[in-house]
Amino acid sequence: MAAIRVLVVCTANLCRSPMAEGILKSKLSAQAKDIKVKVESRGISVPVAGLKADPRAVRVSQRNGVDLGKMRTRQLKPRELRQADYVLVMNQRHLTVLAEMCDGDMPAGASLITLFASEPVRDQEVPDPYYSTEQGFASVFDLLSEALDGFVAHLQIQK
């Protein structure tokens, strides 16, 4: 059985998508060891490839038992969209960019990451914490964690 390929996408691959990648890997390892999933994060507009995640994202994640130490920024490529089973994005603008990258067709499996969350956050956009405080990063971590609980449950139902 081939692994399910999941891409988590944000703008620069510095804050939200690395946190989401780390959270999802952690949840899968704890709750869904029987499901083969390959999780990676990318950015739609990465200024410099190979940068470490934002230090605030690293600290907040670490306090929550999630290690982002090995993650580096990577630019999203159109071929990766075709290879992914799920593409989880942070806001509507990201969905628009994905459609543009695929000549106007939304990639299969692309959605807001919060689609998998419970109410009242379902379909809410995940704010970019880059210009906020560490508390802003903590709030984003909590929102991503809630959404990814739902995503893991979705994967368990699908298997």
pLDDT at 159 over 80: no
Res 107: pLDDT: 83
Predicted TM-score of the model (pTM): 0.96
* pLDDT > 90 in the chain, percent: 85
Average pLDDT of the chain is 94
- State the pLDDT confidence band at 65, using cuts at 50, 70 and 90: very high
**CA triplet 114, 119, 76: central angle to 5 degrees?**
0
CA gap 49, 61 in Å, rounded? 21
CA dihedral 44, 70, 5, 60 (to 10 degrees): -70
128 is an active site residue: yes
pLDDT at 1 over 70: no
Average pLDDT over residues 2-7: 93
Tell me the longest C-alpha to C-alpha distance in the chain.
43
pLDDT at 48 over 90: yes
Among 15, 16, 56, 74, the active-site one is: 16
In the chain the domains, ranked by start, together with CATH numbers, are 4-158 (3.40.50.2300)
Res 104: pLDDT: 81
Among 10, 42, 54, 74, the active-site one is: 10
10 is an active site residue: yes
Average pLDDT over residues 72-84: 95
Res 120: pLDDT: 83
* pLDDT > 70 in the chain, percent: 99
Among 59, 102, 122, 128, the active-site one is: 128
pLDDT at 105 over 90: no
